[in-house]
Amino acid sequence: MAVTHPPGTFCWIELAADDAAAAKRFYTSLFGWTARDTPISDDEVYTIYELGGESVGASYPMMADQRAAGVPSNWLSYVAVESADATAAKARELGATLLAEPFDVMEHGRMAVVRDPTGAVFALWQPKNHPGVGLRGATNSLAWNELATPDSARAKEFYTGLFGWTGKTLNLGAPYTEFSGPSGLVGGMYQITEQMQGMPPCWLPYFNVDDVAAATETARSLGATIFVEPTDVPSVGVFSLIQDPQGAMFYVIKLHPPKVSAS
């Protein structure tokens, strides 16, 4: 059954890589993805990653101006919307900065790039021929999108205002906010603490894996840096935080099975 992406849900992830060829080798080796390249210039390609014939994300060479500004390789999370123009305008009214005004991506869709009032960047996606990832939640595919922010109260106000999400704060050893939309959970958020100084505001993807320890060791052997070694969060799952050799951050996770109540 095809994955659907209602408005207000995360629908696509895309890596801007300092060395796109090296990034492709890393992720295909780590997750078993296959790469399908589409030329975007005489010497550059846009790579769509697939698993079992379904798209799971993409990567492309970082723009020259981004390199010049010292922007590290990074994963960009896209949120599906009915209108990129209307949602971008609303984001600006709510205090965001538009890093890219709405524009058409050929016949695939229309998008805008937004920096929220706390500094985290994400994209809006109004789909046309490309709805987003075709596989989600399976092993080695996107599982979750999470915001690290220096001001969780301001971020909660912004995202609930922009997408109509509701935010529920849990205690998972530290405050953690789950965002929900009409179709259910859409993402999470935590506040950057003093102990995390140096971590920029960002939306990061989580990828499901069968074995977090094994995936972490494979990533390490491929040149990644492990920022958080495999860690068990009771009632949630085991995760690790990884920085790929190009500098992009992401998580891998193995969720605990849901508890079944005795009847």
pTM: 0.94
* Residue 253 CB neighbours (<10 A): 19
**And the tokens for 178?**
């789950």
Return phi, psi of residue 245, to 5°. -65, -15
Burial string for 174-202 (b: 16+ CB within 10 Å, else e) reads eebbbbebeeeebbbbbbbeeeeeeeebb
Closest CA to 143 of 227, 208, 194, 190: 208
Taking only the tens of pLDDT, the chain with its 263 residues reads 468 899 999 999 999 999 999 999 999 999 999 999 998 887 889 999 999 999 999 999 998 888 887 888 999 999 999 999 999 999 999 999 999 999 999 999 999 999 999 999 999 999 999 999 999 999 999 999 999 999 999 999 999 999 999 999 998 878 999 999 988 999 999 999 877 777 899 999 999 999 999 999 999 999 999 999 999 988 889 999 999 999 999 999 999 887 654 44
Domain 10-127: homologous superfamily in CATH: 2,3-Dihydroxybiphenyl 1,2-Dioxygenase, domain 1 (3.10.180.10)
